[in-house]
Amino acid sequence: MDILYFAWVRERIGVPRERIETSAATVSDLVAELRSREERYELAFSDLGSLRVAVDQELADFDASLAGVREVAFFPPMTGG
């Protein structure tokens, strides 16, 4: 599964994207798995209220299923316009 990071999430993780093998069932499970890995993930995901997630390029909730999903992206609230 491809995991993408944008804005300050990308800066904290240190890479814009990475491919990982995971059996996480939901976005929340994936976040828990990442947080347990290294300090930089713990730091990036410390406040989920300030994070947004997209699953296969569509905005989603943290309880969204990852079944059949190819790409998950984490980022702060968007500031377009």
Footprint of other proteins (CB under 8 A): 4, 6-8, 10, 54, 57-59, 73, 75-81
Q: How far is the CB of 6 from other proteins (least distance, A)?
A: 6
- List Cβ neighbours of 5 (8 Å cut-off, separation of 6 or more): 12, 13, 15, 16, 17, 44, 73, 74, 75
Q: How far is the CB of 44 from other proteins (least distance, A)?
A: 13
Q: Residue 75's beta-bridge partner residues?
A: 52
Q: How far is the CB of 71 from other proteins (least distance, A)?
A: 9
CA distance 63 to 41: 19
Nearer Cβ to other proteins (32/48): 48
